[in-house]
Amino acid sequence: MDIAALKRDLEGLKIDDHPAIVQQKSRDFYWYSPVLKAQLDHVTGDLIVTPKSEDEVIRVLAACHRRGVPVTPRGSGTGNYGQAMPLSGGVVLNLAEMNQVKAIAPGRVVTGPGAVLAEIDKATRAHSAQELRMSPSTYNTASIGGFVAGGSGGVGSIRWGGLRDLGNVIRLRTVTMEAEPRVMELTGEEVLKVMHAYGTNGIITEVEMPLTASYDWIDVIVGFDDFMDAAGFGNDLAIQDGILAKLITPIAAPIPYDYFKRHQKFFRREQSIVVCMIAPHAIEAFVAFVKSGKGEIVFRADQEADLKGLPPAYELTWNHTTLRAIRVDPTITYLQARYPSPDHLAHVKAMVDRFGDEVPAHLEFIRFDGAIGAAGLPLVRYTTQERLDEIIRIHEDNGCWIFNPHRYTLEEGGMKRTDDVQLAFKRETDPQGLLNPGKMIAWENPDYDYRSGKSFLFKGLQKVG
């Protein structure tokens, strides 16, 4: 790689090669996983390029194509599987400054890829009381391009399903990695070609997302003596079609008391909780609903005198649950699970009974194929890689699906099989395999055996210096 020559090609663009900056911008939240931390700690790019327009993106891709330099796109770098880490070095394409909110209409917003989710909502709320359907709990920092290319769902998925559900992304504009990069517009189911593809088959330069009505959601936390009562309450609430909720998150004791330091005073240590975001006009029905069950409201943001210092409730949920635990106890890690419906609660109970406090439970209720489902982000009190693998195996043997967050490839973190549509699209858009190398096994090693039980090891991974 002739980085010096590339730098000359890119003259006039915003470039950074200060090693500390380059290293910082080559990292994401991969360190969440003790496994990825060990594998990727040394990984770094050679150059950070920060385009301000699609034209500049095209210039960068053309130059890198000519010089055979890998390009790894980056939004805000909050992915936690090393998605945005340049395994073979090269250019990190930092899209953070393509962050314009370009157009807002009923049900729609058009933005640059680097727009931060909370900033988009700020604009759409002010414009017409609208907001994005769903956001990761990294709402305040993550970019929309990174969410589409690297995320899956989050706060709001209880109502709208996952990001990949048809209709949850209206249009994507992408640029190919070729001698003369082409611009493509993808709509309908075509958006799936690049969604959650980690930027391996195109750089997203514009995003059109559906909007929904925004409300001043009320954070409410309901406490329970027993975790399965909390889970049951969450499920019963989720199937209330008339009570508008944006978030329903059961979390087992002692996670809330031990790790949610700033909310600690609201909990007893043996209390499991359900974190909710409720529309103001649903709050009376919600309170009536709570009264009919075993829980008690332990926190209600609209009735709390002093909210200073308290994070928003969603920053206790999704992957923030894990983050808060790790901050207190760095030996903790986590898993990502789906408990198949309709008997998802029975699956949850089986795992809770089996592992107890070694794998403290954390559920996220979501909508899935028109029904209510339970995803899990249970914590794991990590001992060894072997035990972690065993915990995964026991989940799978019990019919739970695991999306392994301790792998940096698309397939291993997903359904453990080739996505033919995304692979075919990569052949079209990145024939030389220069976009985010090492993340798509189907490209690197079409004959890979997913049942091997081992982690895929990308041959192009930088050697430890």
Ligand X SMILES: Cc1cc2nc3c(=O)[nH]c(=O)nc-3n(C[C@H](O)[C@H](O)[C@H](O)COP(=O)(O)OP(=O)(O)OC[C@H]3O[C@@H](n4cnc5c(N)ncnc54)[C@H](O)[C@@H]3O)c2cc1C
* Footprint on this chain of ligand X (rule: CB under 6 A): 28-29, 72-80, 83-84, 95, 113, 136-138, 142-143, 145-147, 149-154, 198-199, 203-204, 318-320, 323, 436
Cβ nearer to ligand X, comparing 261 with 291: 261
For residue 200, give Cα distances in angstroms to 22, 24, 363: 20, 21, 30
284 contacts its own copies (rule: CB under 8 A): yes
User: What does 418 bind: its own copies, ligand X, none (CB cut-off 5 to 8 Å by kind)?
Assistant: none
- Cα 317 to Cα 24: distance, rounded to the nearest angstrom: 26
User: What does 284 bind: ligand X, its own copies, none (CB cut-off 5 to 8 Å by kind)?
Assistant: its own copies
Place of tokens 């969440």: 32
State the binding string over 183-222 for its own copies (x if CB under 8 A, else -). ----xxxx-------------------xxxx-xx------
Place of tokens 């079409």: 446
292 contacts its own copies (rule: CB under 8 A): yes
Least distance between ligand X and beta carbon 168 (Å):
12
CA triple 256-360-293, angle to 5 deg: 65
74: closest CA among 41, 51, 101, 102?
51
Place of tokens 């007893």: 268
Length in residues, the chain? 465
Amino acid at 439: K
Give start and end residues of each alpha helix (H) in 46-153: 54-67, 117-128, 144-150
Cβ nearer to ligand X, comparing 154 with 295: 154
240 contacts its own copies (rule: CB under 8 A): yes
282 contacts its own copies (rule: CB under 8 A): yes
User: What does 153 bind: its own copies, ligand X, none (CB cut-off 5 to 8 Å by kind)?
Assistant: ligand X
User: What does 295 bind: its own copies, ligand X, none (CB cut-off 5 to 8 Å by kind)?
Assistant: none
Residues 1-60 binding its own copies (CB under 8 A) are none
130 contacts its own copies (rule: CB under 8 A): yes
346 contacts its own copies (rule: CB under 8 A): no
Cβ nearer to its own copies, comparing 228 with 285: 285
Number of residues that bind its own copies (CB under 8 A): 53
Q: Which residues contact 157 (CB under 8 A, 6 or more apart)?
A: 134, 364, 366, 367
DSSP for 30-60 reads: GGGSHHHHHHHTT---SEEEE-SSHHHHHHH
CB atoms within 10 A of CB 302: 13
- Cα 350 to Cα 415: distance, rounded to the nearest angstrom: 22
Q: Which residues bind its own copies (CB under 8 A)?
A: 105-108, 128-130, 133, 159-162, 165-168, 170-171, 187-190, 210-213, 215-216, 238-244, 279-282, 284-289, 292, 342, 367-372
